[in-house]
Amino acid sequence: MFTSAESSRIRDFPEPDVLLWALWAGKEAAFKVLAKKDPALPFIPRIFEVRLDTCGLRAASTCAGTCNAPAAGAVLTPEGAIPLRVYLRGTCVHALALSGGEEYFDHVAWRVEVLPELKGVDAPEEESRIVREALKRCVAAHLGWNRKELEIRRTESGSRRGPPRLYYRGKRTTLDMSLSHDGRFGACAVLMPGPDGRPSESDQPELSCRAKDAPPQ
């Protein structure tokens, strides 16, 4: 799952489990970026090598609503390096990956939600609904849009489902977004317009997020 360099860093890190989950979340986030353009792309973890400044992964914040400064880095992929930010709060590891320049991180709005304890066959669907509603609230708060007129749709791409897309008043927006949930945590992220507007849809970077519930082993 990990390269020899990653495995060595995990062994030497003061909190190995924290770094392990941070690297894993980074791999998954980078893969999601590439999979937006190629839904048939297989996930082979060892070909996604994470290079990360681990200062932000030490002494995690446990205060509600706060998190450490992000650990910055990049994921080396067959398609080139993908900039990465990893946030840590308690046992939640949240990774953001962007295919564009690092300056785009300044325009990413994101949230992490603590999910209720759900059981039964409907639990995954309810977790997904909670995260989608969190994203709608996030977009509505930042842009002043009517939350009730926001909709998230997914299309089929061959045998796999395509990435989620955001619609407002029935029309697809150019806002790139990502959803994730794992264990007790769900996360959403959306790339907001910058002060000078957004690049054309063909030029805009791809965004992804990945939340991991990483309790100590």
pLDDT per residue over 48-88, tens digit each?
999 999 887 875 544 434 456 789 999 999 999 999 999 98
pLDDT per residue over 135-167, tens digit each?
999 999 999 999 999 999 987 666 667 788 999
In a domain, 56, yes or no: yes
Q: At what angle do helices 4-12 and 16-37 cross, to 10 degrees?
A: 150
In a domain, 217, yes or no: no
169: left (phi over 0), alpha (psi -120 to 50) or beta: left
- pTM of the entire structure? 0.86
Distance of CA 37 to the CA centre of its chain: 16
Are residues 209 and 189 in contact, defined by beta-carbon separation less than 8 angstroms?
yes
In a domain, 84, yes or no: yes
In a domain, 3, yes or no: yes
What is the reported pLDDT for 130?
A: 94
Same domain assignment for residues 1 and 88 = yes
Same domain assignment for residues 91 and 165 = no
Same domain assignment for residues 94 and 129 = no
Same domain assignment for residues 94 and 110 = no
Same domain assignment for residues 7 and 83 = yes
Show the domain range for 51: 1-100
The pLDDT of residue 91 is above 50: yes
Same domain assignment for residues 1 and 87 = yes
Same domain assignment for residues 122 and 46 = no
In the listed set 100, 118, 140, which residue is the last one of a domain according to the structure?
100
Same domain assignment for residues 69 and 124 = no
Same domain assignment for residues 119 and 53 = no
Same domain assignment for residues 75 and 158 = no
Nearest by Cα to 188 from 146, 142, 148, 134: 134
Same domain assignment for residues 32 and 110 = no
Query: What value does the mean pLDDT of the chain take?
Result: 86
The pLDDT of residue 193 is above 90: no
Are residues 211 and 127 in contact, defined by beta-carbon separation less than 8 angstroms?
no
pLDDT per residue over 18-56, tens digit each?
999 999 999 999 999 999 888 888 999 999 999 999 887
The pLDDT > 70 percentage for the chain reads 86
For residue 71, CA distances in Å to 79, 150, 203 come to 22, 32, 26
Number of domains within the chain: 2
In the listed set 100, 134, 161, which residue is the last one of a domain according to the structure?
100
Same domain assignment for residues 5 and 95 = yes
Are residues 183 and 91 in contact, defined by beta-carbon separation less than 8 angstroms?
no
What is the reported pLDDT for 122?
A: 79
In the listed set 78, 100, 122, which residue is the last one of a domain according to the structure?
100
